[in-house]
């Protein structure tokens, strides 16, 4: 080490918000010291200088934390642009490693399937993203992997549902779309007790979907999750241009996830990886700070509106788990970070709330400038939708009602517009409620 290197401050000593902008520009994945912006690499296959190098590449593949550039062989195995994004995503989640996938669902299925074998069981919260619910109820049972759905707002329900074959506890927090919270540290305590005396390969692992909160607002690994998954399509990508997913956690999971991705094939394209690396992740903190501000203003507006029956936003003191929200949802700088999503129900002057919600959203679809009727969330544009009939159509009726997801419920994902304009567009739509 020369004196110059000795004086250079370690990247680890900078604050996370700064590190997401500059990334690991001295990355072992690729030397781009002379670029200000990381280059985009696009090559499906790699020239090998010798058969020996090719053979070494296959042997080395999927070993974590190589200090030098990996021996790249073929895009589906490993690739530098994706690798640079993965390094930065690991930093964002406070993880040793991250592995990206073609979509959030590709990441979720990889996290689950790489941990589970036939005959094993999952305990999951009763309300989940619609496609995750389908994966657990439609596909995995075909391979004799079964799921017990419980109310994880009561963490002790893990112990009530777990059997000797349980290997995974799976949930989202905040829950999509009801915005109820699950106490990650409390679930950890219950799982630790269940794991006592179990051999390593029979332990229960906790997987948390952090898509709603984003790694800016919540750090599941720090709170006790074994693995965290995110849809990169949502707030991490942020601009709504590319799909992606990620799994992050300790290095001990890296090999399995990389091998799974190689053989099931759900790789993130380098092109999408570059967009998220250059635009999405570096702006995550700034976007979230401002989108969250808008969410707080809009939640306050809805709360005092006579035509609103209920607003659920972790930033409101009336949220039933506000104390947990304050403890669990913290930004990189330690501030309360309740996120950019809220859920509300209407109190119409006549007719059913469901019919009123449809009129309300149709009015917005036709007339609002700042609010778009569309699924997805976490973008710079404010999006509105009806989870009951749209994103959560797959969840059984009685389950939806029991979990507080009503036919008239509306999900709002706040963007970067001036919140006064969003409030004005909402106010206009209340004329049809």
Ligand X SMILES: *Cc1c(COP(=O)(O)O)cnc(C)c1O
Tell me which H or E stretch contains 17: helix 16-22
CB of 15 to ligand X, least distance (A): 27
The binding track of 82-111 with respect to ligand X, each residue x by CB under 6 A or -, is: ---------------------xxx------
Please tell me the distance from the alpha carbon of residue 95 to that of residue 98, in angstroms, as a whole number: 7
- For ligand X, the closer of residues 79 and 209 by Cβ is 209
Nearest distance from C-beta of residue 274 to ligand X, angstroms: 17
Beta bridge partners of 125: 150
**Exactly one of 125, 133, 234, 411 binds ligand X (CB under 6 A); which one?**
234
Q: What minimum distance in Å lies between the beta carbon of 245 and ligand X?
A: 5
Q: Is 243 in the site for ligand X (CB under 6 A)?
A: yes
- Binding segment (CB under 6 A) for ligand X, from list 159-167, 183-191, 204-212, 309-317: 204-212
245 binds ligand X (CB under 6 A): yes
Site residue total, ligand X (CB under 6 A): 15
CA 14, CA 293: separation in Å to the nearest integer?
A: 25
Q: Does 210 engage in binding with ligand X (CB under 6 A)?
A: no
Residue from 166, 233, 269, 331 touching ligand X (CB under 6 A): that is 233
Q: What is d(CA 163, CA 186) in angstroms, rounded to the nearest whole number?
A: 19
Among residues 78, 183, 209, 361, which is the contact residue for ligand X, using CB under 6 A?
A: 209
Q: Judged by CB under 6 A, which stretch of 198-206, 227-235, 396-404, 420-428 contacts ligand X? A: 227-235
- In the complex, minimum distance from the CB of residue 8 to ligand X, in angstroms, rounded to a whole number: 37
Q: Kindly tell me which residue out of 61, 149, 212, 344 binds ligand X, with binding defined by CB under 6 A.
A: 212
Interatomic CA distance for residues 108 and 185, integer angstroms: 21
C-alpha 424, offset from chain centre: 30
Q: Which stretches of 130-247 are DSSP H helices?
A: 130-134, 157-161, 184-195, 214-217, 220-223
State which of positions 275-314 bind ligand X (CB under 6 A). Answer: none
| Cα Rg, the chain, nearest whole Å | 22
Cα–Cα distance measured from residue 321 to residue 343, given in angstroms and rounded to the nearest whole number? 14
How far apart are alpha carbons 181 and 188 in whole angstroms? 15
**C-beta atoms surrounding 247 within 10 Å:** 30
> Using the rule CB under 6 A, is 157 a contact of ligand X?
no
Distance of closest approach, residue 391 Cβ to ligand X, in angstroms: 8
What is the CB-side half-sphere exposure of residue 375 using CA atoms within 13 A?
12
By the 10 Å C-beta count (0-12 exposed, 13-18 middle, 19+ buried), 232 is classed as buried
> Whose structure tokens read 């989940």?
128
Q: Which of 172, 345, 385, 425 binds ligand X (CB under 6 A)?
A: 172
Residues that bind ligand X (CB under 6 A): 103-105, 129, 132, 172, 176, 209, 211-212, 231, 233-234, 243, 245
């Amino acid at each position: 080490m020369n004196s110059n290197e000795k004086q250079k401050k370690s990247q680890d000593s900078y604050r996370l918000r700064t590190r997401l902008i500059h990334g690991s520009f001295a990355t072992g994945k690729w030397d781009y010291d002379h670029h200000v912006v990381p280059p985009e690499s696009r090559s499906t296959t790699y020239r090998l200088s010798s058969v020996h190098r090719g053979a070494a590449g296959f042997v080395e593949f999927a070993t974590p934390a190589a200090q030098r550039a990996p021996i790249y062989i073929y895009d589906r195995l490993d690739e530098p642009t994706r690798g640079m994004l993965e390094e930065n995503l690991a930093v964002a989640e406070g993880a040793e490693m991250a592995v990206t996938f073609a979509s959030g669902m590709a990441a979720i299925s990889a996290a689950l399937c790489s941990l589970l074998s036939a005959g094993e069981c999952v305990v999951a919260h009763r309300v989940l993203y619609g496609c995750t619910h389908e994966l657990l109820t439609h596909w995995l049972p075909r391979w004799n992997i079964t799921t017990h759905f419980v109310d994880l707002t009561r963490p002790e329900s893990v112990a009530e549902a777990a059997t000797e074959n349980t290997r995974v506890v799976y949930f989202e927090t905040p829950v999509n779309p009801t915005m109820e919270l699950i106490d990650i540290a409390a679930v950890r305590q219950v799982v630790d007790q269940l794991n006592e005396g179990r051999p390593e390969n029979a332990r229960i692992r906790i997987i948390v979907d952090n898509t709603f909160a984003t790694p800016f607002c919540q750090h599941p690994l720090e709170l006790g999750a074994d693995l965290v998954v995110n849809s990169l399509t949502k707030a991490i990508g942020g601009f709504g241009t590319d799909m992606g997913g990620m799994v992050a956690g300790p290095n001990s999971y890296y090999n399995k996830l990389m091998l799974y991705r190689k053989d099931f094939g759900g790789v993130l394209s380098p092109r999408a990886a570059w967009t998220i690396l250059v635009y999405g992740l570096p702006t995550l903190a700034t976007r979230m700070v401002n989108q969250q501000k808008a969410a707080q203003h809009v939640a306050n507006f809805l709360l005092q509106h006579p035509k609103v029956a209920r607003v659920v936003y972790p930033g409101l003191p009336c949220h039933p788990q506000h104390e947990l929200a304050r403890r669990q949802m913290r930004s990189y700088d330690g501030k309360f970070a309740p996120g950019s999503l809220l859920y509300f129900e209407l109190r119409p002057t006549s007719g059913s709330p469901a019919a009123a919600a449809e009129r309300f959203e149709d009015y917005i679809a036709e007339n609002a400038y700042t609010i778009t009727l569309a699924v997805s969330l976490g973008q710079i544009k404010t999006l509105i939708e009806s989870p009951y009939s749209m994103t959560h159509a797959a969840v059984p009726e009685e389950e939806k009602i029991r979990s507080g997801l009503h036919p008239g419920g509306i999900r709002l994902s706040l963007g970067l517009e001036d919140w006064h304009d969003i409030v004005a567009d909402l106010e206009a739509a209340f004329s049809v409620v």
